[in-house]
Chains A and B, each alone.
Chain A
Amino acid sequence: MAYVAVKGGEQAIKNAEALLQAMRRGNKDIPELSLEQIKQQLALAVNRVMAEGSLYDCDLAALAIKQSWGDLVEAIFLLRAYRTTLPRLYYSKPLDTEKMQVQRRISSIFKDLPGGQKLGATYDYIHRLLDFKLAAENNEYHAPEIDNNNGTVPRAIDTLNQEGLIQSETDITDTDNEPFDLTRQSLSTPTDRDARLQNLARADEGFLLGLAYSTQRGYGKNHPFAGEIRVGEVEVIIEPEELDFEVAIADIQVTEVQMVNQFKGSKELPPQFTRGYGLTFGYNERKAMSMAIVDRALRAKEFGEEIEGVAQDEEFVLYHSDNVEAQGFVQHLKLPHYIDFQAELNLVRQMKKEQKLDSDNEYKVIKNIKIRPEESKDYSEISEVNNLAFGQENEANVFNDV
């Protein structure tokens, strides 16, 4: 037999991997990227990979970025696949973001506030002009002197709480309800806010950005204000059962966003402001803001609002937000599907054959315009009606009949 069906053996797979590795490395005369370079100079990419990869480890995230040839969704996937192999040792105490060492902190709802406004490092007010000087290397940049040691910085929107103007959050730390664990339990709907927030925290940034944007354009609107955005380092604390005291195990950088939204009130609830919450690993403001807006949108049911946009549809949002899942299923179409396709081929051939039989049938014209057989029976014998209804093609038939 001359023909061998195309099938990929083990060697082909190994060759594909070797080729990829060589192409990823590129020209050997160009120095290789170090993980330290990626960590320092592509820090925002590292942050995104840690957030959506759901693992706080700058070194591993940098490695994933290097290994994925700069494809961040692939890097996120690498980190998640690694994360799977790690045991869950403890649940930390809730992060206390009031005690954050603030690198950036702004509120758009107050001109000034206790703790102050602090721009930090941001692109917000930089003219987006390509900086051609940066193309040349060995530039030196000096950070302005800043005092990063702050005490407790109270949350901006708590001042609204004092007046009872904003819906208060329920404290679940004192209850017996263990929070949901998205990494250990299967998400099912309808679900609660703890599961939703976990899902959103590792959701694809682009997906959340698009959804948040859609609410602003009227698909489930709830006009948001940036109550507070803060970026900085917080302590992660655990309290192991076998020890009776707390242990701080790490300082991690997070971005926290609290949105304040209008709410006109419902039958059960008085008019007040409502909240949306966003939290991500690292400096990741666009994602955290999108998350907060979508969180608020998903609270529609809780506040008795009408569901009119996709961002308010819990199932739609939560089941399509994960880019590791989404990229897999979209791209799995690359896998061989020739068995199903064969079944479809057989079916389409059968359908075509039957259609051809139909078209050889004298009632062809009638069938094509989809008059039901029982209706057509009444009229088909009356050639004048056929003439009027079916135009020229039928006229030719009439001539032939004559």
Chain B
Amino acid sequence: MGTIVLKDVQKRFGDVTIIPNANLAIENGEFVVFVGPSGCGKSTLLRLIAGLEDVSAGEIIIDGSNAAQLPPAKRGLSMVFQSYALYPHMSVRNNIAFGLKMAGQPKAEIDAKVAKAAQVLNLADYLDRKPRQLSGGQRQRVAIGRAIVRQPKAFLFDEPLSNLDAALRVNMRIEIMQLHKSLGATMIYVTHDQVEAMTMADRIVVLNKGNIEQVGSPLELYNRPDSLFVAGFIGSPKMNFLTGEAATKHQAHTIGVRPEHIALSDRAGEWEGTIALAEHLGADTFLHIDAGRHGRLTVRAAGEYHLGPGSKIWLTPEKGRIHRFDDKGRAIR
């Protein structure tokens, strides 16, 4: 079991309010990703759940009972840290076994659990090495192994992949997802990388300045963002926003169109512009277009686009793919 419910959780450091009021229910076995820009309070929220920070007000209900006042070790959660936080002078074996040893479990049982975790994580050959003799990915696995053996109610990941290089990050992302599938455990994952959020999450929690902006599945957030912030944060390249005349035409204060939802033409279209810059990624080309009073727009073209910088171009947004927002930045539906 591993349900976690946050009820009116608040966190203040002195006069500074980090989390004004957070409410969230996480189901057993769910993979939830907290995502948001730096300083949005996502790590703080995770640390509140872990018990590494004390809540200023509110309840954190783990498996039906309020855990807000319990010390971290008593909450039955495991955490994987950004820097892995392995104990440098202990072997991999002792690193993984440490939590169990502190919990006073019998030695035979500890050995069995460590062996099993090592097997799951492909660490069996490295058990007697010290952390500094391991590569980044292996260290990451040891940190996960340390979390697994305690058989927690939920796993907490605090930006665990941000210290890895890009290729390894993709591999570890898949490994963590497979792990989630095989363990069926609740996992909460903090990241600022929206690609990680989109690919891994059952549900994404988007945070902005300590507020939960929107909670939903990756495609819900992509297709039906509740606010300008979510619309701008999810999706890469960023959604184009237009105000003024173009928006008024759609009875909105601001309209948003994703770069992949704009059709290009060299003869006619709704908006007119000049190509300022073309980014060639091979499979796609991102065109940055100066569209006069509509500002600078980004458009995705499949493959290589035949026109280069300086060319005149016309843009037409796809029908039904235009997101409308009011003057407070909330979506109009």
Are A and B a genuine interacting pair, yes or no? no
Question: Which residues does A use to contact B, with CB under 8 Å?
Answer: none
